[in-house]
Amino acid sequence: MSAPRIRVLPDDLVNQIAAGEVVENPASVVKELVENAIDAGAARIVVEAERGGLGRVRVVDDGGGMGPEEAVLALQRHATSKIATAEDLDTIRTMGFRGEALPSIASVSRFSLVTRRSEEDVGIRVDATNGRLETRPEACPRGTAVTVDELFFNVPARLKFQKGERAQSAAVADVVIKAALAWPQVHFVLQSGGRRVLDLPPCTRFADRVASAFGREATNGLLDLDLAREGIRVTGVAAPPDAARGDPSRIVVLVNNRPVADLALRRAILQAYSVLLPAGRFPVAVVRIDVVPADVDVNVHPRKSEVRFRQPREVAGAVFEAVHAALAGTPWIDVGAGTQSTENRCLSPFPEWGGALPSGAQPGGAPGIRDASAGHPAELFGAPAPATGMSGLRYVGQVANTVLVCEGEGTLVLVDQHAAHERVNFDRLWGALQGGRVAVEPLLFPEVVPLDPAEAGRLEGAQETLARLGFDLEAYSGDAVAVRAVPAILRGRSIAHVVKECLAAASEEGSSTGTERLHRLVATVACHASVRAGDPLTESEVRALLHAMDGVADLSAYCPHGRQAVVVHPMGSVLRWFGR
């Protein structure tokens, strides 16, 4: 008889397989350990991460701690104090409950746990490596300290595919920030290399916790959310549209204090902002959703990062209404609207480009003129751009410091000044980039721009791409960057804001190709180099813009962020509006 081909796997291999589901990277280790600390009732949690967490992760809390028997049991699979029966899954209020985290982490690291309950004089230390446990008494404060050294040392295939140190550090910081947003009453500290990266003391006002986590410059004017209906409560904050970013990393959704990834809820938040944000821009919003535990299933993902609602449409609708109600009645017309001095508009005479516009590839283009007048037959519109060129139009005036009104031969031409200038700048910058001749503006004195941990984590991966576009950036004193030069097209702009936006645009998140990533970056630079909606323009500035638009191959195309630049109405259709 041949040997059986089906066999029972040894415990150490079973744990390593389970670790593949639970332990993806150092950030996932931090997440599991922080959740355990929260469940233990900690008031203060300190996270240490060395080499992005691949060298060491250490999480120390002042929670209830464990006794000697509990500490050993905690390193066995499916050993948990959170649930006892299947029915308990319907009433889960703790962050952890599977009993897999500690044995999974211990199976792929050099692991130690030191813990003590308040009623005991001496604590216990448990060391685990390759499935072997060693225990001994140890003096320690009340609470628990877990140390994870050399993560994936015994799983080289997993270690080989880990990202760089900066990216790992950014992911760890993101976990700590989201935990701090979910539990504002807990003091969170993140340390790395002997330096305190984050210090988030407890807050009674939620907006203060958001501001300390994301930075007050990005969270000015936060709007409170508060809506309750049919067992659903939505609270939190949403920032004004002018705080929007180029990536969605600051849209945070918390369900019963659990950070989750849910596309439907994120879509509800974006829809609430509607036309206040152009395509490619994302708001700052932290939305807390509280539902009855029985109405949400948190057991649908090994890392507990997704949930399933019993009434998903009702929850998404409540989120939309809460954010929409907070934004309703506000005076915003366009993201980033504001006034700029005439010398900073960079409209005329575009000296840095030295002549005609390069036309070349236009990956952001989308042909076709929009039907701009509801209630009128679409066939009345769709006239081509003026054959004589934009510079040949008669300039009539500016409406709402946003729309330029011009008259052509038999046409009424409306120009969105920001979208048009953005399209001009995009085409010019893209052409210059393809030709390897981007003009650079060296700074007389380098400007040091402080970065949050997530932005600092993106710097290493983005530096080469940004250099192609004319940025000279150098990591400076921890989480900061020294800016020595910028693209000449950004002359006179706020450097700190542009650099932060470009780091977000150049990040790999959401990008499938290098060209797509570069396109997003060029669009970001073009946007910041352009006049804004709300800027009053002199006639000479308008003429400079119209002349520059002559070099754009397709004026009916949209700007890189999705807003149409030019709408052309045949004069006959305009006169018919008045019965002529």
pLDDT digits (tens, 9 = 90+) for 2-39: 666 666 666 666 555 555 557 889 999 999 999 999 99
**What's the mean pLDDT in 229-249?**
88
Q: What are phi and psi of 492, to 5 degrees?
A: 90, 0
**What's the mean pLDDT in 280-292?**
90
Write down the number of H helices and E strands in the chain.
15, 22
CATH 3.30.1370.100 domain locations along the chain: 351-570
CA 502 to CA 524: how far, in whole Å? Answer: 6
CATH 3.30.230.10 domain locations along the chain: 206-327
pLDDT digits (tens, 9 = 90+) for 179-189: 999 999 999 99
Contact at 8 Å (CB) between 133 and 423?
no
* Strand order, beta sheet including 440-450: 440-450, 480-487, 472-475
Predicted confidence band at 337 (pLDDT cuts at 50, 70, 90)?
very low
Q: Which CATH architecture has domain 11-200?
A: 2-Layer Sandwich (3.30)
DSSP letter, residue 17: H
Could you check whether the bond before residue 349 is cis, i.e. omega within 30 degrees of 0?
yes
pLDDT digits (tens, 9 = 90+) for 449-493: 988 877 887 887 788 889 999 999 988 876 789 999 999 999 888
**What's the mean pLDDT in 327-333?**
63
pLDDT digits (tens, 9 = 90+) for 341-387: 333 334 433 333 333 332 333 333 322 223 333 332 222 223 344 55
Q: What are phi and psi of 440, to 5 degrees?
A: -115, 145
Contact at 8 Å (CB) between 495 and 448?
no
Q: By mean pLDDT, which of 108-112, 353-357, 382-386, 424-428 is the weakest?
A: 353-357
The answer on pLDDT for 251 being more than 90 is: yes
Looking at residue 93, what is its pLDDT?
A: 59
Looking at residue 360, what is its pLDDT?
A: 31
pLDDT digits (tens, 9 = 90+) for 390-414: 889 999 999 999 999 999 989 999 9
Looking at residue 1, what is its pLDDT?
A: 57
Contact at 8 Å (CB) between 167 and 461?
yes
Mean per-residue pLDDT over the chain, rounded: 80
Residue entry with tokens 């150092």: 26
pLDDT digits (tens, 9 = 90+) for 520-553: 889 889 988 999 888 999 999 999 999 988 877 6
DSSP letter, residue 437: -
CA 122 to CA 140: how far, in whole Å? Answer: 7
Domain 351-570 has CATH 3.40.640.10: no
Q: Which DSSP string corresponds to 69-137?
A: HHHHHTTSTT--SS-SSGGGGGG--SS--SS-HHHHHHTTSEEEEEEE-TT-SSEEEEEEETTEEEEEE
Task: Tell me which CATH code domain 206-327 carries.
Answer: 3.30.230.10
Looking at residue 114, what is its pLDDT?
A: 96
The answer on pLDDT for 43 being more than 60 is: yes
Query: Two tokens at 224?
Result: 């409170």
C-alpha dihedral sign at 229, 232, 235, 239 = negative
pTM of the model: 0.65
Predicted confidence band at 516 (pLDDT cuts at 50, 70, 90)?
confident
Tell me the β-bridge partners of 311. none
CA 213 to CA 179: how far, in whole Å? Answer: 10
Query: Two tokens at 241?
Result: 């549209």
Q: By mean pLDDT, which of 46-60, 223-237, 246-260, 372-386 is the weakest?
A: 372-386
Looking at residue 8, what is its pLDDT?
A: 62
Looking at residue 374, what is its pLDDT?
A: 31
Predicted confidence band at 302 (pLDDT cuts at 50, 70, 90)?
low
